[in-house]
Structures are given as structure tokens and as C-alpha cells.
Amino acid sequence: MVRVTVFLVGGILTAIHLDRSVASLAIPLAGVLAIGFLAGFFLKAKVLSGLSGLLTVFVLGYLLVMQREKPGCTTPAGNVEMYRAVVSRFAEERTNSYRTEATLLSVRTAYGWQESCGSILIYFQKEGRQFEYGDVLLVSGAPTEIPGPANPGEFNFRRFMQFRGVRQQDFLGRDSVMLIGNKPGNNFLGMAIKVRLWADRMIKSVVNGDREQATATALVLGVTDGLDNELLRAYASTGALHVLAVSGLHVSIIYWIILLVLKPLDRTRPLKWLLACISVVVLWSYAFVTGWSPSVLRAVTMFSFVAFSRPWRQSTNIYNTLASSMFCLLLYDPFFIMSVGFQLSYLAVFGIVFFQPRLYALWEPRHRLTDEVWKLSSVSISAQVATLPIGLYYFHQFPNYFLPANLVVIPVSFVVLVAGLAVAAFAFIDPLTIALGWLLTWSVKLMNALVLMFGQLPYSVVEGIYLDGWQAVILAGLIAAVTLLFVSKYFPWLYIGVFLAAVFAARQWSHLVTEVNTTIVRVYSAGNHTLIDRLCNGTSSMVSDSLVGRAWPRLYRYVEPAWIMSGVKQDSAVMYTEVVTGRGCKAWVWGNISFLQVDNADHVLPGGSANFVVISNNAIRSISELSPVKFEKIIVDSSNSLYFAERLRREASGLGVSLWSVPHHGAFEFKHAER
């Protein structure tokens, strides 16, 4: 199953990342391979049947992606005036709104009402009605395409939602939406969501403190809406963020408790099967309480395979068991492979299974306490090594204190999880619930205090680590080669490791030349602000309307991904001071590139020339106002309204003037050599 799953994953990744021009050949190719498999099977040609079978699975993975991406309905003719949709998920609380998904039912155009389909992401205000699963909404207006990343290195939310089958979004005003009914698509899912909301209320009712309530519901139920940024950063910087994401760790704790409590059943073969059935029922009941959270469903599926493999008559291989669960999940949804949680869960479990026994065998402590600490430490190290490449790729940081932090956080999280589930289970016994609530509150307080303490220690985290996708793959191969060298004592693995290290270094050198040691000027898409940046040799010089004070934490999120790519640290960024300010405008020179910024409608333009003219705050009425200045290109930054930017675009097109609109196209950047 490991081999079969590897080929399935290969087909899925090929379909996702490579050219789709050969899609029409996939089905005939699968037929030919299937015939080859059958021929090899009946002729007892193991090589032919094995290779044909694996390649058939590869093509199957390719076809699965093609099938999921195939549109299920046609786009309605005409402009959409209003639409009907049914809420298909529970609502997530955001800073100023709620967010959920809805399934389109029908749309109204100039041709009347037409049936439609597809999923959309909807946001609605906190002050208005809170819509629930199954609510049918009548919305005026039309959903829009989810925009792509506006700045370099920014998280591609559009691609993330496309993997979930969602391509459009809509922001619902108070007067633009009406509740017209309730039609749950799945009554079982609707019941699970109600149970989750009830459990959420129960836990919050017995836990004191907003931060403690948010942490408890996140750890027990996976409800992360109320977590503040400071706490999230602390958990991330200590390597304990996995505690707040209900997934493999939590399900493994529950499974371990089941095995401990029902240990008398783990004797004879019939009782082992009874234990497996009880374990699966309890695990899926927990998934039900969490509202069928996708991450929990993946973890429960994985451990269901593990549970049923234990009493199996034949000896089982844990790698095949894990690969079987992955295979089934990818058959259900091939895009699971692009989920960060899916990747982290399986890599961590595979790493623990492979590394932990070998690492634990290196030292045999004499005392029981030392032995338990070493067991937990070996598990943490194994998971960290296995997930290192994608951890660096996605999060660009390494928690230096992950080992001591996990040694104290995981045991406390065990208490929090058990106490939280007990609160929901014994909600009808008030005295017991109050006592459990007290235990839950102080356990969460202790866990948060420990995490914040580790996060504030010097050198708690190495930040700004940049790896591209290929570097992450090469690093994973390097770790595998070094591991196999020590495990198999097969010397050629050393040559492979040295080769991969050289390729990794060459790619890193290429990145330094093209991104770090190159001068890049960039005008960011930064909300309603002007943010212009020059990056060179790991330093940043900036011109902005609001760089200091309270605005900077909000602005930093726009520049952080690009700074990581360019090797810039926060303390190496400076406000560019050599700016000549005139009436309603600024002028400055970076190297051999000159800029003129017009940021006020009451402006007086100087004569002369500039390579780039930056327009801010809707400062001009017409491009003709720029006639005193000779320029190469106009940049309309993100402080301008979309309507204003569109008007200038049309005017520039008519005049043959080169113009870049940040509100329309995202950040503007260019690389150049300075004299």
C-alpha cells in the first residue's frame, strides 16, 4: 500500500502542478495499463503486472483531479442581479464579521431565474443576523471571483479555496440579504454542528477569562475564532501550535485513553475485535462533537485503520496501515494532499513510527521518570525532524525551544482535552461540571503562561527562513538520505546526500543572487495606504504615509512575505529620509531611479523629469495635470479608490500612457542595477 499510495500521490500532484494538455489521453492510457496488468497477472509476469498496476494507479490519481475540477454546471447567461444560496458550513468568527460557505441554488438575470450551483464564500456583519447551517438566503447583487495574492510571497487564498471547490465570494450588507427559509442539505451534519455549538457554549460557561475560553474551545473542539494574535504567535514560536489545531495529537490521546481504560479487552482475539469496534465508535463520536471538522475527520480515519489493524489475523505493517488510510482519503478528495494539516499529520506520524524507536534505543534511562521524559522527547524530536522541510516552507521559522516547550505543554494539553470532553459528557451533573470547569480554567492558564514564557525567552525562534517548494523537497530528500545511510550502513547513500546538499546550496545561491543581492523597488497593495519600498542586500528603505505607531503592525503583514524572500529583518528597515517635499507632492531618488509622488489634490508640480510618478489619495483629476513632468510610467497605488483607478486606466489607454494600477493588478515591482 505504501507503493500504491506513492503512485496515487504522484498522479494527483502531476495533475495539480503540470500541464493538463494530455488529459484526453489519460483514460485510454489507463485502459492500456489495466490490460497490461491483467495480462501480467494471468501470465504470472510479476514485473509487468506490478509496473502496469502502479502506473494505472498513477493515472487514476490524475483522473481524480480532472474529475473534481470538471465544472458541474454552466455559467448563467447575462449579468446576475440576485441569487439564492443555502449556508453549507458553520460560521467562523472573524475580527469584524462572520465567514461561512454557501451553495448556490439559483440566480436571477435579465432572462429570469435560472438554476445554478457551486460554492461561494460569504461574509456577514456581526451586528446583523447570524446565519446558521441550512439557512436559505436571498441576496441582491452577484458574487465575485476570489482575488489572487496582491503582493509577492503572499498566501494564495484563492488557490487554497479552489482546492475546497470554492471560487467566488460575497460580502453581505445588512440590507442586501434576506432569510427566506431553512433547508439543511445534510441533517446529520446539521446535528453535528448544533452539538459542536452546544459543547462550545458549555465549555465557555464553566471557564473564566476570554483568552482561557478561546484556548479551551480551540484545543477541545477546534474552534479557533477567539484566539488573539499574541497567543497564536507565542504558540507558533515555541513549536506548540499543533496543540491548538484539533487533529492527530488529540485523536491519538483519545485513542490512548480508550486502550488504557479497556485494557482487559486486549487479550483474546474476539475481545480485540470488540475493542477495535468500541475505539472506532468513540473516535467517530468525537469527530461528531467537533462538527465533522476536516482535520479531525482525517485523523479519525487514520486511527480507525490503526484500530482495525491491531486484531487482524495476519501480521500488519504500520506503514501499510497509514498508507491505506491516506489512499482512501485521497480517493474521497484528492485535494487533501494540498492541505497543510494533512501533510503535517501524516509526516509527523510516519516520522514518529520510523524515527522514535531508533532514537529511543540510543539511551536507556534507569529511572522511570527519566524514561518517560525521554520517550516524550524522542517523539517530539522525531515529529520535528519529519516535518522540518514543510515547516520551514510554510511558516519560515524554527522554534528553538520546541523540545522543552512540548515536554511541558503536551502533558498539560492532555489534562485540558480530558477535562473539556468531561465537561461536555457530564454537563447534566452541575457540581462535577463546576469542578471540571475549575480544573479546565487553571490548566489552560498554566499552559498559556508556559507558552508565553518560552516565547519571551531570548532566541526563542529563528525567523525569516526562506525555502521555495523545490528546496523543501530537496531538504526532505537530504534528510531521508542521511537517515538511510545510518540505518542501512549502505555507503552510496552518502553520495546521494552530498549531491542533494550541493543542489540545495546551488538553489540557495541562485535565490541570493536574484532576490537578496538585487535591488528591487516595490509599490505594495497595502489596504488604503501608500507603501513604497526599496529592497537591497537584506535592507529596506521605505516611503509611506503611515509607517510608525499603531499602523505599522497592520501594514507589516503586507510586506512580511516579500521581506522574507529578500532576507530583510524588521530591525533593518528604515524610513527613507532623503525625500524632497513640495506642495502636495514628494520627490526622491533611489540609485539611478527617480520618483515623484502626488498625494494631495492641492498640489503644485515641479518641472523636470521622473522615471515613475506615483498617484496617491485620488490626488489628480486628469493625467493632463502631470504635463509639467516628463515620466516613463504612472503608478496608481492602493490608497486610491477602485473607481478612481479605473478612470485613470481608461484615460491612460486612450492617451497611450503606460500606467500600472495597484488596486487592479496588485503590487508593482521592478528590479534594476544601481550605478
Residue spans of the domains in the chain: they are: 2-69, 82-185, 192-463, 469-516, 519-672
**Predicted confidence (pLDDT) per residue in 521-577, tens digit:** 999 998 888 888 888 888 888 888 765 556 677 778 888 888 888 888 766 666 666
Class of domain 82-185: mainly beta
Distance CA 238, CA 247 (A): 18
Q: What is the pLDDT of residues 143-168, one digit of tens each?
A: 888 888 889 888 888 888 888 888 88
Q: Are strands 135-140 and 97-109 parallel, antiparallel or unpaired?
A: unpaired
Sign of CA dihedral 361, 365, 369, 374: negative
Does 474 score more than 90 pLDDT?
A: yes
Evaluate whether 592 touches 608 at the Cβ level (below 8 Å). Answer: no
| Confidence band for 637, pLDDT divided at 50, 70 and 90 | very high
Residue from 537, 516, 532 nearest 668 by CA: 532
Among 611, 595, 546, which Cα is nearest to 575's? 546
Residue 541, phi then psi, degrees to nearest 5: -120, 135
Helix or strand holding residue 495 (H, E): helix 492-511
Q: Which residues of 575-596 are buried (b: 16+ CB within 10 A; e: fewer)?
A: ebeeeeeeebbbbbebeebbbb
- Please give the Cα distance from 340 to 486 (Å, whole number): 29
Lowest mean pLDDT among 58-72, 599-613, 636-650, 659-673: 58-72
Q: How far apart are CA 637 and CA 546, in angstroms?
A: 14
Give the model's confidence band at 41: pLDDT under 50 very low, under 70 low, under 90 confident, else very high.
low
- Per-residue HEC secondary structure of 606-656 comes to CCEEEEEEEECCCCCCCHHHHCCEEEEEEEECCCCCHHHHHHHHHHHHHHC
- Whether residue 598 contacts residue 187, with contact meaning beta carbons closer than 8 Å, is answered with no
pLDDT for the residue 75 = 53
- Angle (CA) 60-101-197 rounded to 5° is 110
The DSSP result for 202-260, as a single string, is HHHHH--SHHHHHHHHHHHH---TT--HHHHHHHHHTT-GGGTS-SHHHHHHHHHHHHH
Q: What is the per-residue pLDDT for 601?
A: 84
Q: Is the pLDDT of residue 74 over 60?
A: no
Tell me the per-residue pLDDT of 238-268, one tens digit each, with 9 for 90 and over.
Answer: 887 777 776 777 888 888 888 888 888 877 7
The three grid cell numbers given for residue 468, joined into one nine-digit string? 521555495
What mean pLDDT, rounded, does the chain reach? Answer: 84
Q: Using the CB atoms, write b or e for 618-642: b if 16+ within 10 Å.
A: bbbeebeebeebebebbbbbbbbee
User: Is residue 338's pLDDT more than 70?
Assistant: yes
Q: Length of the chain in residues, anyone?
A: 675
674 pLDDT exceeds 80? no
To 10 degrees, what angle do helices 402-425 and 269-289 make? Answer: 90
Question: CA-to-CA distance for 633 and 619, rounded, in angstroms?
Answer: 16
> Is the pLDDT reported for residue 47 higher than 80?
no
On whether the CB atoms of residues 440 and 206 are closer than 8 A, the answer is yes
Instruction: Output the CA torsion 430→435→441→446 (10° steps).
Output: -170
DSSP annotation of 18 = S
- In this prediction, residue 668 has a pLDDT band, given cuts at 50, 70 and 90, of very high
pLDDT tier, 590 (very low <50, low <70, confident <90, very high otherwise): confident
Query: Can you give the pLDDT at residue 19?
Result: 65
Question: For residue 201, is pLDDT > 60?
Answer: yes
- E strands, 381-496, are 397-399, 461-463
- Could you give phi then psi for residue 423, rounded to 5 degrees? -60, -45
Neighbour order of strands in the sheet with 539-544: 573-575, 539-544, 531-536, 519-523, 668-672
User: Would you give the DSSP letter of residue 91?
Assistant: P
Task: Give residue 575's pLDDT.
Answer: 65
The pLDDT of residue 98 is: 85
Q: Contact at 8 Å (CB) between 108 and 81?
A: yes
The per-residue pLDDT for range 387-419, each reduced to its tens digit, is 899 888 988 888 888 888 888 888 888 888 888
Which residues make beta-bridge pairs with 85? Answer: 104, 137
Distance separating alpha carbons of residues 670 and 612, to the nearest angstrom: 11
Alpha-carbon distance 543 to 532, whole Å?
5
**Type of residue at 647:** R
Say which amino acid occupies 401: Y
In the DSSP assignment, the letter for residue 529 is B
Q: How far apart are CA 388 and CA 382, in angstroms?
A: 10
Dump pLDDT digits (tens) for 261-303: 888 887 777 888 888 889 889 888 888 888 777 778 878 888 8
Dihedral over alpha carbons 543, 546, 552, 554 (to 10 degrees): -110
State residue 472's pLDDT score: 92
Span 74-91, average pLDDT:
78
Distance CA 381, CA 394 (A): 19
If pLDDT is split at 50, 70 and 90, which confidence band does 200 have?
confident
Read off the amino acid at residue 429.
I
Residue with more model confidence, 44 or 445: 445
635 pLDDT band, cuts 50/70/90, is very high
- Give yes or no for a contact between 638 and 663, defined as CB atoms under 8 angstroms apart: yes
Q: How far apart are CA 545 and CA 536, in angstroms?
A: 21
Task: Please list the helix, strand and coil fractions of the chain in percent, rounded to the nearest 5, in that order.
Answer: 55, 20, 30
